[in-house]
């Protein structure tokens, strides 16, 4: 018997990540090739954006995806999030000319407060939320705080792009096949301060750290390369990463919904105090996923270098979250 369709809300649906994301969701790459989906798409109430959204919907229709059980276009989050089982919050306010970081935080705080409240009011009580729009961790924190009737653990931020970037850099450095790298993680904020940590990673049972055996490369090449990859792509393309961001969003949601088969993946999730991260802070952690739930990998040893890196990204996130406290 075929499965009942699930509802997937995507915000910023006419943007560049939206364009790289929706077709893959509709083809079953996110939730499985047997799972019909209804897309509930949100764009700002602006004629140009709504027209662009219409065009994307026409293209979705023209793909004749067998799993696409419905498509809705909305400009009101209360309609877009109605009964939604999954919410991918991609749309966000980009930094404009002369805008300070505090202005960016405040503009996004407004968007994610409203969207958190709307999720709280109308979404499925089990909705799984992924925030992609930057600053992703803090936006997820704001949405979570604005939705007190939903489980806080259901609000997550995207660190998977950083994770995938780290895997790819390691593979290139040591000649690994990227798919053979296990137990890699990225701690902290989706920003250049993130700490991509391969101390526990293995390839075919062999330690990645021992194979590479180059702390200078780790500190001075690998971490800056992964941390500044988003900026490098903006410099090269004139636009921020879109296909790789959409791909990471698919990976994040697929693993959360369908399980990671015991493997570690990285998710930005609210801390319960693990590794000294303040409870409630949305932080990149190693997790395993099964039966629609994630579990933070606990008990890992944090050496002095790692602690220093974690402290740096933690301080940045604390600053961001302190900066929006008065708005919540």
Ligand X SMILES: O=C(O)C[C@H](O)C(=O)O
Length of the chain: 328
Tokens of 242: 């879109």
In this chain, which stretch among 20-28, 60-68, 233-241, 310-318 interacts with ligand X, using CB under 6 A?
233-241
Does position 247 interact with ligand NAD (CB under 6 A)? The reply is no
Rg of the chain over Cα atoms, rounded to whole angstroms, equals 19
Min separation Cβ 138 and ligand NAD, Å: 11
Q: Which of 35, 134, 191, 247 binds ligand NAD (CB under 6 A)?
A: 134
3-class SS string, 63-111: CCCCCEEEEEEECCHHHHCCCCCEEEECCCCCCCCCCCHHHHHHHHHHH
Burial of 90 (0-12, 13-18, 19+ CB in 10 A): buried
Catalytic residue (one of 74, 163, 190, 252): 190
Does position 92 interact with ligand NAD (CB under 6 A)? The reply is yes
Q: Which of 111, 194, 253, 277 binds ligand NAD (CB under 6 A)?
A: 111
Min separation Cβ 76 and ligand NAD, Å: 10
Whether 326 is catalytic:
no
The pair phi, psi for residue 89, each rounded to 5°, is -95, 95
Classify residue 278 by its DSSP letter: P
CB 154 within 8 A of CB 126: yes
The binder of 92, among ligand X, ligand NAD, none, by C-beta within 5 to 8 A per type, is ligand NAD
Q: Is 24 annotated as a binding residue?
A: no
Q: Which of 15, 230, 270, 284 binds ligand X (CB under 6 A)?
A: 230
CB 223 within 8 A of CB 214: no
d(CA 49, CA 16): 12
Min separation Cβ 87 and ligand NAD, Å: 11
Does position 108 interact with ligand X (CB under 6 A)? The reply is no
Site track 144-163 with ligand X (rule: CB under 6 A), x = hit: -----------------x--
The pair phi, psi for residue 200, each rounded to 5°, is -100, -5
Q: Is 199 annotated as a binding residue?
A: no
Q: Is 169 annotated as a binding residue?
A: no
Size of the site for ligand X (CB under 6 A): 6
d(CA 267, CA 36): 25
Does position 241 interact with ligand X (CB under 6 A)? The reply is yes
Burial of 284 (0-12, 13-18, 19+ CB in 10 A): buried
Does position 168 interact with ligand NAD (CB under 6 A)? The reply is no
Beta carbon nearer to ligand NAD, 67 or 248 = 248
121-157 core/surface letters (b: 16 or more CB in 10 A; e: else): ebbbeebbbbbbbbbbbbbbbbbbbbbeebebebbbb
Does position 169 interact with ligand X (CB under 6 A)? The reply is no
Does position 79 interact with ligand NAD (CB under 6 A)? The reply is no
Tokens of 15: 């943007």
CA 142 from centre of chain? 15
Beta carbon nearer to ligand X, 212 or 233 = 233
Min separation Cβ 4 and ligand NAD, Å: 27
Annotated binding site for substrate: 95, 101, 134, 165
Query: Which residues make up the interface to ligand X (CB under 6 A)?
Result: 134, 161, 230, 233, 240-241
Annotated binding site: 12-18, 95, 101, 108, 115, 132-134, 165
Query: Which residues make up the interface to ligand NAD (CB under 6 A)?
Result: 11-12, 14-18, 42-44, 49, 90-94, 111, 132-134, 136, 158, 161, 190, 240-242, 245
State the catalytic residues: 190
């Amino acid at each position: 018997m075929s499965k009942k369709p699930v509802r997937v809300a995507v915000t910023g649906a006419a943007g560049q990540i939206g364009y790289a994301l929706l077709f893959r969701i509709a083809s079953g790459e996110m939730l499985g090739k047997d799972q019909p989906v209804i897309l509930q798409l949100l764009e700002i109430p602006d004629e140009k954006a709504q027209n662009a959204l219409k065009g994307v919907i026409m293209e979705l229709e023209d793909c004749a995806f067998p799993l696409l059980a419905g498509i809705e276009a909305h400009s009101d989050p209360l309609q877009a999030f109605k009964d939604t089982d999954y919410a991918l919050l991609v749309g966000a306010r980009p930094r404009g000319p002369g805008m300070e970081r505090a202005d960016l935080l405040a503009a996004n705080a407004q968007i994610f407060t409203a969207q958190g409240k709307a999720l709280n009011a109308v979404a499925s009580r089990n909705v799984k939320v992924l925030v992609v729009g930057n600053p992703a961790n803090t936006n997820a924190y704001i949405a979570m705080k604005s939705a007190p009737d939903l489980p806080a653990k259901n609000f997550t931020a995207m660190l998977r792009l950083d994770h995938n970037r780290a895997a790819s850099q390691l593979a290139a450095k040591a000649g690994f096949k990227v798919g053979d790298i296990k137990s890699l993680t990225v701690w902290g904020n989706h920003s250049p301060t993130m700490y991509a940590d391969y101390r526990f990673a293995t390839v075919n049972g062999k330690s990645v750290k021992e194979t590479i055996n180059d702390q200078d490369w780790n500190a001075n090449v690998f971490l800056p390369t992964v941390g500044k990859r988003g900026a490098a792509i903006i410099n090269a393309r004139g636009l921020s990463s879109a296909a790789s961001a959409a791909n990471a969003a698919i990976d994040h949601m697929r693993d959360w919904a369908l399980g990671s088969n015991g493997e570690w993946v990285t998710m930005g999730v609210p801390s319960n105090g693990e590794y000294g991260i303040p409870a409630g802070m949305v932080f990149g952690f190693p997790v395993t996923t099964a039966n629609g739930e994630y579990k933070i990998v606990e008990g890992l040893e944090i050496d002095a270098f790692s602690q220093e890196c974690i402290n740096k990204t933690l301080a940045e996130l604390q600053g961001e979250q302190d900066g929006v406290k008065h708005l919540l």
